[in-house]
Structure 1
Amino acid sequence: MRTILLFSIIALISIFAVSAQIPVSDEAPRGYMLGPGDEVTGKVLGEPQFDFVSTIDEDGRIEVPFVEQPIMAMCMTERDLRTEVTQLLGKYLRSPQLSVRVTKRNSRPPVSIYGEVRQQQQVDLTRRAFLLELISFAGGETEKSGGMIQVFRTRPPICVTPDQPVSWGANGTDVPSRMYSIAGLRQGSEEANPEILPGDIIVVQKAAPVYVTGEVIRPGELAIPEGGLPLMQAIAMASGITREAKTRTVKIYRRAAGSPEPEVIAANYDSIRKGETDDVMLKPFDIVEVGKAPKKFTDYLLEFATGVPNRIPIPIRPF
């Protein structure tokens, strides 16, 4: 019993020791900072004539009753504005009890999340948020994701703090953007998990396609997953080849740079399956054609006897 208790105490000490190594920021979050278009409501206890509802103009200023000049409210928090207005109303009231509240947040457009996510949506940011959190909020990426995320910065950020990103700077009329890796996000890379600002557009890129045709069970379009797509895996994803497939020569038609004619790559399916030759990594927009082998005499006899074409699928164990 004492031994169990001793190990429990040691475990607790270890937990607290690890927790103490985690840095904790001494800087408290400032809260929502005001911007053009925001509506602010102020109320003075017992003095309704000093109450106000005002909208911050495009210059970042706000008008308050009995205050001669507009107040620069840009990038102030509710607390900052309350302190400023309280001091100005002190000319007319003794120790005014003022409350200030942002009633409409119109200065920050929502973040848009599109592309290969499970729930495309727009999100209003009320605090600092990062890419991984927003992708998770949208349900994560789909199976057709190509492993890259493009973030567009549609407008310069306002009220940034020293540790926040600045404008990426658009060239001419182009909207600036940056690419981030989903693999980097999964590995916890800080570089792959940037802070997202209001108005940003997040697009999870769709994987480039390849096409599998001919003597396979389910011909059609396939998405190249993150990490690439070998030929054998592509055929397995098409549910395997048929009995009539010509397996010695599988043709891959590939776009050739600077030529209207595609490059033709011949792969020996049987040799790859036996491990005698290396598998072929497919590239975006490749067309895989599994040809039809010439019929043998026994095939004709089987068709004649059964009245059914000899088309039996050959299953392939997925990789």
Structure 2
Amino acid sequence: MPDILNSMFRNAVLTTFIFFLVFSFTSLQAQNDDARGGYLIGPGDEITGKVLGEPQFDFVATVDEDGRIEVPFFDKPVDARCKTERELRSEISKLLARYLKNPQLSLRVTKRNSRPPVSIYGEVRQQQQVELTRRAYLLELISFAGGVTEKSGGVVQVFRPRPPLCSTPDGQNDWAVSKDAGLGVPSRMYSLASLRQGREEANPEILPGDIIVVPKASPVYVTGEVVRPGEISIPEGGLPLTQAIAMASGITREAKTKNVKIYRRKTGSAEPEVITVNLDEIKKGAVAEPMLMPFDIVEVDKAKKSIGDILLEAVTGIPSRIPIPIRPF
């Protein structure tokens, strides 16, 4: 009996929690719509108007490319672009007053076709397109896509291929093309770390038609006398040399720790820059540990075998290639 009561209590709590989430989401959507004054009408939207007791004035109209609609008995089209339902209803009611006494007009946007979806691509768990019916921000949409993957870099890029349908007075959403970016589409880069910290400047409003891309982290390559040579992604915050080696499962007994080489791309040259590092000195704290750059190649050379190693292999048959764990210093 107590088990049944416990089960009923858990179900009641779960139901209450789900109801609270749904109610909170609905309330949030309403608050956001109210904060912006309601949905702003645009080209392609379908508007339905009905006049109480005067069916000849009823209409269903589609907003044209210029943002206007045709209303029965009106000499000119009515401008609907960037107006809310309330604003458009008030304007049309005033025009109807020329023909009717105290007209009772109900007006609704019955089809929202003016908003292209937001596309979310790259290193997110669920790449998808999202239809915006209210105000939304970058962090919310990244979360809606399941968050970023382990292979994501430390940034997210937002492209704005079309200008805002309705510009704000401060012009904050009107992005210009950056000459340095080398792209013909306005875009901005944001730090994922700043986004997680809740910094307002890293969490812009996302508009219909925006494209959100979370790039894959740049790779480095660890080769030579490590247990698992291969590609390693640079995590957010950077990648120290010893951490990269640890992620390759450490060095082997044959590793030449005093002469680890980092091959780095050099701008304007086909020959890479060669950086020689002593892991033993880094471990002692005698020298600073280098941070790896995108596309660095880390090569751990093979040390010459000592006479003791050669004799040990000959007697035991056990090779000296045994992994030695290494931790980031």
Report SS of the residue matched to 1:112: strand
Q: How many residues align?
A: 295
Alignment of 1:104-143 (within 5 A): 104-143=111-150
- Equivalent residue in structure 2 for 1:78, among 72, 77, 85: 85
> How far does residue 92 in structure 1 lie from its aligned partner after superposition?
4.0
Report the secondary structure of 2:153's partner residue: strand
Of 181, 186, 194, 1:176 maps to 186
Between structures 1 and 2, the one with greater helix share: 2
Instruction: Please give the secondary structure, in 1, of the residue aligned with 2:36.
Output: coil
1:64 alignment partner in structure 2: 71
State the one-letter code of the partner of 2:39. Y
Label 1:179 to 1:171 Cα distance change in 2 as closer, same or farther (>3 A).
Answer: closer
Residue matched to 1:96: 103
| Range 216-225 or range 289-298, more displaced | 289-298
Q: CA deviation at 1:163?
A: 4.8
- Go from structure 1 to structure 2 and tell me whether the alpha carbon gap of 1:171 and 1:305 turns closer, same or farther (over 3 Å shift): closer
Q: Which runs of 5+ in 1 are unaligned?
A: 1-23
Partner of 1:311: 321
Q: TM-score, normalised by structure 1?
A: 0.84
Q: Residues 129 and 245 (structure 1 numbering): CA distance in 2 closer, same or farther, change over 3 Å? A: same
Match of 2:197 among 187, 196, 210: 187
Post-superposition Cα deviations, 1:59-114, rounded to whole Å, max 9, x if no partner, equal 11101223232111111111122222233333444433322221221212111222
Structure-2 separation of matches of 1:65 and 1:310: 91
- Is 2:285 aligned against 1:267? no
- Partners of 2:238 and 2:176 lie apart in 1 by 33
3-state DSSP of counterpart to 1:251 = strand
**Does 2:45 correspond to 1:38?**
yes
1:206 to 213, 216, 224: 216
3-state SS in 2 of match to 1:99? strand
1:9 counterpart residue number: none
Taking the aligned partners of 1:76 and 1:158, their CA distance within structure 2 comes to 11
In structure 1, the partner of 2:162 is: 155
Contact preservation (8 Å) 1:164, 1:195: no
Corresponding residue of 2:295 = 285
| TM-score scaled by length of structure 2 | 0.82
Distance 2:158 2:283 in 1: 41
Cα pair 2:242 2:327 within 8 Å, conserved: no
1:110 & 1:217 partners in 2: Cα distance?
A: 46
Which of residues 204, 220, 233 in structure 1 aligns to 2:230? 220
Q: Which amino acid aligns with 1:269?
A: L
